[in-house]
């Protein structure tokens, strides 16, 4: 894919989002209770029209939103992303009644969505999930089992839940359900995580669902999950790029102003070279994220590979950049409340969720060999 740059209108929009994040969203984020859904923040995202754009924008616009918000307020970025992740299956695969019931409330920030795929024994291996959907009559099932590491659980208003409707069928026996949070038999518990986002486990005790709750086709829910992840994986990379850029900007300001060894910290070659490396990797990751998002918007055949590459490079890059920024700032960056202390906790999880780095490498290799074999067969 050829190199490209953003249009002036896109650059202006990103600047506006960074300002909104810093001036209007960060104060709301700071008032939130750690480990719980910040409904005031979600509602403000709705009032600003950002949640509605989740259903009208392409992958590149999603990346621009996530990168720009992450630069000024990671909590706002995450709240927006979780609304999109939980509601996208409804937008893309839901029936008209399902869409009419939930999407307007997601868009205005009055309903909180969640994407319930991971389980204690099936995190990265989504095809191995064990939540059972046992038949309970024609077009009726009972969900029994557990989900874990679910963002916005147990406080979401509805969940996109993936359950096994065909035993021993692997990825071919999974169905996606739209599950309102008030269904009998559904309970949950919050988890205390390194970064204090709302994350929890869900317990399903014969929770009733019907054909009206199915998203997409019966036994074809794996496609719903993977289609959603292919869209959101590049934007996870965009989130990482936003954090990396925030860490780089803080480092530029710090090293330019800090006196050390008879000059400014930036005058030390060891420091300036590290800053240059941070900038180099951040820009490379940004370009790969934009390329992957553009490929998705154009319907390119190599989206899974590009999405995996973008998420892998960007999240690993952000880890490096934030860690280096902490090193160059010294002990002040480790003090509770410092921007880099915050980013240091935030930056670790994206290397794990929506497919760990090792999973992304597996996807990339699988796609490369599939391409090789296809070329060999075409000869």
Radius of gyration of the chain (CA): 21
In this predicted structure, what is the pLDDT of residue 250?
A: 97
Q: Which residue's entry shows tokens 């921007």?
A: 339
Of residues 85, 76, 72, 31, the one with CA closest to residue 50: 76
Q: What is the residue-wise DSSP string for 118-179?
A: -BTTBSS-GGG---EEEE-STTEEEEEEEEEEEETTTT-SEEEEEEESSTT-GGGGEEEEEE
In this predicted structure, what is the pLDDT of residue 126?
A: 64
**pLDDT tens digits for 183-192?**
999 999 999 8
Residues 168, 161: Cα–Cα separation, whole Å: 19
List CB contacts of 333: < 8 A, sequence separation 6 or more.
Answer: 325, 326, 340, 341, 344
Q: Which residues pair with 146 in a beta bridge?
A: 203
Residue pair 66/241 in contact (Cβ under 8 Å)? The answer is no
Residues 92, 78: Cα–Cα separation, whole Å: 21
Residue pair 151/201 in contact (Cβ under 8 Å)? The answer is no
Q: Which residues pair with 199 in a beta bridge?
A: 151
In this predicted structure, what is the pLDDT of residue 50?
A: 96
Residues of the chain with pLDDT under 70: 1-4, 123-124, 126-127
In this predicted structure, what is the pLDDT of residue 366?
A: 94
In this predicted structure, what is the pLDDT of residue 2?
A: 36
Claim: this prediction has a pTM higher than 0.85: yes
Question: Of 217, 354, 367, 377, which residue is the catalytic one?
Answer: 354
Give the helix, strand, coil percentages of the chain, each rounded to 5.
60, 15, 25
Q: Which pair of structure tokens corresponds to residue 200? A: 């929890």
Q: What is the residue-wise DSSP string for 69-100?
A: HHHH-HHHHHHHHHHHHHHHHHHHH--HHHHH
Q: Work out the angle at residue 326's Cα, subtended by the Cα atoms of residues 321 and 329, and round it to the nearest 5 degrees.
A: 120
Residues 246, 321: Cα–Cα separation, whole Å: 10
In this predicted structure, what is the pLDDT of residue 152?
A: 96
341 is catalytic: no
Q: Which residues pair with 263 in a beta bridge?
A: 260
In this predicted structure, what is the pLDDT of residue 262?
A: 87
Of residues 335, 318, 306, the one with CA closest to residue 238: 318
In this predicted structure, what is the pLDDT of residue 124?
A: 62
């Amino acid at each position: 894919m050829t190199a490209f740059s953003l249009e002036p209108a896109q650059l202006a929009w990103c600047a506006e989002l960074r300002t909104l994040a810093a001036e209007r969203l960060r104060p709301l984020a700071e008032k939130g209770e750690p480990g719980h859904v910040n409904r005031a923040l979600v509602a403000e995202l709705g009032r600003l029209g950002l949640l509605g754009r989740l259903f009208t924008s392409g992958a590149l616009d999603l990346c621009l939103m996530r990168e720009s918000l992450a630069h000024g307020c990671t909590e706002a970025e995450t709240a927006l992303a979780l609304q999109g992740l939980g509601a996208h299956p409804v937008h893309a695969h839901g029936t008209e009644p399902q869409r009419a019931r939930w999407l307007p409330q997601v868009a205005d920030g009055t309903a909180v969505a969640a994407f319930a795929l991971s389980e204690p024994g099936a995190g990265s291996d989504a095809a191995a999930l064990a939540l059972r959907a046992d038949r309970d009559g024609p077009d009726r099932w009972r969900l029994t089992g557990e989900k874990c590491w679910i963002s916005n659980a147990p406080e979401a208003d509805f969940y996109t839940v993936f359950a096994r409707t065909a035993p021993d069928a692997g990825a071919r026996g999974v169905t996606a359900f739209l599950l309102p949070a008030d269904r009998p038999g559904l309970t949950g518990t919050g988890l205390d995580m390194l970064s204090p986002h709302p994350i929890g486990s869900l317990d399903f005790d014969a929770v009733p669902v019907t054909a009206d709750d199915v998203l997409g086709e019966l036994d074809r829910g794996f496609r719903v999950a993977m289609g959603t992840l292919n869209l959101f994986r590049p934007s996870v990379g965009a989130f990482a790029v936003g954090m990396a850029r925030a860490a780089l900007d803080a480092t530029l300001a710090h090293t330019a102003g800090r006196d050390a060894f008879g000059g400014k910290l930036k005058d030390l070659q060891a420091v300036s070279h590290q800053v240059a490396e941070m900038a180099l990797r951040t820009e490379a990751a940004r370009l790969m994220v934009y390329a992957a998002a553009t490929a998705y918007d154009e319907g390119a055949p190599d989206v899974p590979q590009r999405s995996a590459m973008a998420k892998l490079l960007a999240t690993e890059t952000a880890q490096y950049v934030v860690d280096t920024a902490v090193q160059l700032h010294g002990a002040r960056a480790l003090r509770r409340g410092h921007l880099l202390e915050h980013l240091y906790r935030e930056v670790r999880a994206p290397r794990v969720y929506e497919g760990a780095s090792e999973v992304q490498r597996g996807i990339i290799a699988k796609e490369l060999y599939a391409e090789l074999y296809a070329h060999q067969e075409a000869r």
